[in-house]
Structure 1
Amino acid sequence: MKGWFDAFRSDGGPTLYSFSNRTAVTGDVAVIAWLAVFATLYVAFLIVFPGIRRERFTTFWSVTLSLFVGATISISLCGSAWHVASAPIRGTYRAFSKEKVSATLGAYVGLDHVNITLRGNATHDIDFNERFSWIDSRQMGDSFREALVRGLPYPVLTVAEHFATGQDGLAWGGQYRAAGYFAAVALRTSFAAWLLMNLMLVVVPRYGALLMTACGFLLLATACGYFGMLPDAPLLVRVDGAALRFSFGWCYWLVLAAGAVCLLVGVVTTTLEIVKPHSFLTILEVNYDTPYDRHVIIEDSRGRKDQRKRTTTLEEPHALGLGSRILRRLSSKQRDEKAAAPSNFELAGGPWKYPDSAPRPILRYGDGVQAPMW
C-alpha cells in the first residue's frame, strides 16, 4: 500500500507537524465575520425587495444606508487600517547579521492593536504577520519583550519598539492608545444610536431621522477626535535606509464617509418632515388614508384642539372690554329671566296635546266598536 499512507512522510516517519500554524494570515477573521453577517442581511433584503409594493425607493435606500452604517461601525471597531504605512526594504533579517533580504514591511494600526507584516519577494520565503495589542497599559511592553524572546525578525522588532507605550522615551504608543480608546467609545455610542435609529424608522420616522442625524454627528466626531489625538510629531520609522510614513487607512475614511452621508440624509429628512409633515410613511401603517390612520387621527386631534382654543379665547373675560363684559352679563340675565317666566298663552290655558309617542285614549261604544277620541 505504498503511496496511500506515506504523504508528507520521509523515510517512513510520522507526518511532520513542527508548527501549530504553518500558513500566513491572509485576512482578519473578525472583519470577515462582520462582512458575512451584513452581506447576508443585505442579500436577504434584495430577495424580498420585489415583493414590496409601496414606498420602494424610500425602503431600498433606507435599508441600504442602515446596513452600510452598521457594517462600517462593526468593521471599524475591530479593523486594523486606521493608520497605515508600508515600504519596501532591503536589510538584515537578524540582528548582528550581514545577510540582506528584500521584503515589504508594513504597519497597520487599529484602535487597540497594531499589525506588523513582513513579506519577502520571490527569492525569500518570508511571510510574517504579528499583532501587538495595547488593551492594557502594560500589554504592549510585555508583548514586545515576548517578541524579543521568540526571536522575531529585526524589522518587525524595530517597528514594534516604536509602539512600546511610554517606554524608552518613545511616547507614540501611549498617544495611539489614547486615540484608539476615544474612537472606540465614540463608535460604541454611535452603534447604540444606530440601533435606536432602526427602531424609530419603523415606528416614528421623524424620530428616526433625528437619531440618524445624531449617529452621523457621532461618526464625524469619531473621525475628527481620532485625527486630533494622534501624535503631534508624526511617527516615522526608519529601517535600514527605508522609512515608514503613516497615513490614514480605509477604516478612517469609511467612518468619515458613513458619518457624512448619515448626517446629510438625516438633516434632509428632518427638514422635509418639518416643512411638509407626514411625508414619510412606515410599514406599520397598514390602514393608510382611513379613519384609523395615524395621520388622520393626528390631523383630527389638531383640528379639535384649534377649535377648542378658539372657543376658549372667545369665552375668556379678559379678552373683552369692560363695557362689553357688562352688556354680556346683562343680556345673559335677561335670557335667563325670559326662559324662567311662563308666557301669557301658557297661563291662559292654551291647547295641549299628547306627545307623539304617548298612547291615545280609546272611546268604547256599547256594541263593541272602539274608536279614538280624536
Structure 2
Amino acid sequence: MKGWFDAFRNDGGPTLYSYTNRTPVTGDVHLITIFVIFCTIFTAFLIIFPGIRKERLSTFLTVTLSLFVGTSIQVAQYGSSWHTTSTTIIGSFSAFSKQRMTAEIGGYIGLMHINITYRHTPINMDVADVEYNERFFWRTPHEMKDMFKESLSQGAPFPIVSLVEYFSFHQEGFSWGSKYREAGYYASIMLWTSFASWMLMNLLLVVVPRYGAFSMIFTGFCLLFTNLIYWKLLPCEPLVAHIDGSILIFDFGWNYWLVLVAGIMCLFAGIVITAIDMIFPHQFSTILEVDYDTPYDRHVIIEESFDTRNIRRKLPKVEDSFGDRFISQLSSKLSHEKEEDTQGVINRGYVSHESSEINEESSKTNWSYPFPPAQRRAVSTS
C-alpha cells in the first residue's frame, strides 16, 4: 500500500503540478468584462447597419461615439493606468539575500488601488519562473497599511514590498499614498457623474436630439474636469522610488489620456451638433429616435403641417350650412343694391287725414334710411 498513493509525491508531501496550473495573471477581469459587453453591443450594431437606408452617417457616428465614451468611462473607473512607471532592476528576490537576478518591475496606479508587477527576465533562453502581479487597495485610510503588513507576512518579493512601502506611510515627506487616494477619490466621483450624464445623453438622443447634444457637451466637460481634478490633486512632490539602485518615476498612463480624448471628442461633437441644429433647425436625426419614420416623427409632422398651411391658403371658403349660404347670398344682394344706389331712399313722410290742421312745416318733414355713405337730397314741396 505504500507505493499506491506515492505517485508524483516527494517525501510524502502533496503533489506539485509545476507546469499545469501555475500561470501568471495576464488580464484584469473587470476590464475584460467591460470590453466584452461594449464590443458585443457594437458588433450587434454593425450587423444591422447594412439594413439602414437613411441617416447612415449620423447614426454610425453617434453610436460609435456613445459606445466609445461609455467604454472609456468604465475602463478608467476600474483601470490601473492613471499613473504608471516601469524599469529593469538587478536585485535580490528576498531580503538579506546575496543572490542577484534581473527583473522588470512596474507600478500601475488606479483610482482606488495600485498594481505592482514583478517578472524575472533570465539572461539565457530559459523560461521565466518568477512572475508576480499584486494589487493593493487604498479604499479606506488604513487599508494600504494593513495590506502592506499582510504582504510582509506572506513573503512577497523584496522589490514589491519596497515599492508598497512608499504608499503605506502617511507622514510628512511620505504622504504619497494619501495624496493618490484623495486624487483617485474625487476623480472617481467625477467619472460616475460623467457616466450618469452619458446615460442621460443616450436617452435624450433617442427622445429629443437637440437636448441630447446639450447633454453631450456636459458629459465632455465632466470628463475634462476629471482630468483636471486628478492632475491638480497629485502630490506636489513627484514620487521618485529607489529600488535596488534603480529609479522609478511615475508619469500619466493611458487611462488618463483615454479620458482626455473621450472628453474632447464628446465636447466637440456636442458643439457641432448644436451648431447644425441652430443653423438648420430640426435637421439632425438618427434612426434611434423613438418615433423615427412613423406618423409621429417630428420631420413628418413638420412637413405635413407646412403642406396643410399651403393647402388652406389655396382652397376657397366652404359654407357649412344652409343658414350660412342664405346669409351669404343676402349680404351679396344688399351689397349689390348698395352699389347701384348710394344716394339713399327719400321718404316724404306720412300725414293722416285727421291731422290736416298740423302745421305745414311739420308735415313737410323728410327722413331717409340711415345709409352712412349716402347724402340727403333737397326735396321740393311745390
- Counterpart of 2:158 in structure 1 is 154
Superposed, 1:74-89 pairs within 5 Å as 74-89=74-89
Asked if the contact 2:276/2:284 (under 8 Å) is kept, the reply is no
Distance (Å, rounded) in 2 between the aligned partners of 1:55 and 1:17:
58
Per the normalisation by structure 2, the TM-score is 0.73
Is residue 276 of structure 2 the alignment partner of residue 295 of structure 1? Answer: no
Q: What per-residue deviation string (whole Å, max 9, x for no partner) do you get for residues 42-74 of structure 1?
A: 000000001111100000010000000000001
Higher mean displacement: 9-18 or 23-32: 9-18
Q: How far is 1:8 from its partner?
A: 5.6
Distance (Å, rounded) in 2 between the aligned partners of 1:73 and 1:279:
30
Q: What per-residue deviation string (whole Å, max 9, x for no partner) do you get for residues 167-193 of structure 1?
A: 585100000000000110000000000
What amino acid does structure 2 have at the position aligned with 1:279? Q
SS in 1 for 2:283: coil
SS in 1 for 2:168: coil
Q: Which residue, 258, 269, 286 being the options, matches 2:293? A: 286
Paired residues, number: 303
SS in 1 for 2:129: coil
Structure 1 unaligned runs (5+)? 304-342, 349-374
Distance (Å, rounded) in 2 between the aligned partners of 1:22 and 1:291:
61
Distance (Å, rounded) in 2 between the aligned partners of 1:116 and 1:302:
71
- Counterpart of 2:322 in structure 1 is none
Q: How far is 1:281 from its partner?
A: 2.3
Is residue 235 of structure 2 the alignment partner of residue 231 of structure 1? Answer: yes
Q: What per-residue deviation string (whole Å, max 9, x for no partner) do you get for residues 330-371 of structure 1?
A: xxxxxxxxxxxxx979xx9xxxxxxxxxxxxxxxxxxxxxxx
Q: How far is 1:6 from its partner?
A: 9.8
Q: How far is 1:293 from its partner?
A: 3.0
Asked if the contact 1:203/1:282 (under 8 Å) is kept, the reply is no
Asked if the contact 1:285/1:293 (under 8 Å) is kept, the reply is no
Asked if the contact 1:82/1:111 (under 8 Å) is kept, the reply is yes
Larger Rg computed on CA atoms:
2
Residues 1:221 and 1:298: Cα distance change in structure 2 (over 3 Å): farther
Residues 1:267 and 1:301: Cα distance change in structure 2 (over 3 Å): farther
Asked if the contact 2:282/2:299 (under 8 Å) is kept, the reply is no
Structure 2 unaligned runs (5+)? 311-343, 350-382
Superposed, 1:1-374 pairs within 5 Å as 15-16=15-16, 22-122=22-122, 125-167=129-171, 169-283=173-287, 284-287=291-294, 293-296=300-303
Asked if the contact 2:83/2:109 (under 8 Å) is kept, the reply is yes
Residues 1:157 and 1:285: Cα distance change in structure 2 (over 3 Å): same
Asked if the contact 2:116/2:134 (under 8 Å) is kept, the reply is yes
Distance (Å, rounded) in 2 between the aligned partners of 1:68 and 1:257:
10
Per the normalisation by structure 1, the TM-score is 0.74
Distance (Å, rounded) in 2 between the aligned partners of 1:9 and 1:51:
63
Distance (Å, rounded) in 1 between the aligned partners of 2:64 and 2:285:
17
Asked if the contact 2:58/2:286 (under 8 Å) is kept, the reply is no
Residue identity over aligned pairs, in percent, reads: 50
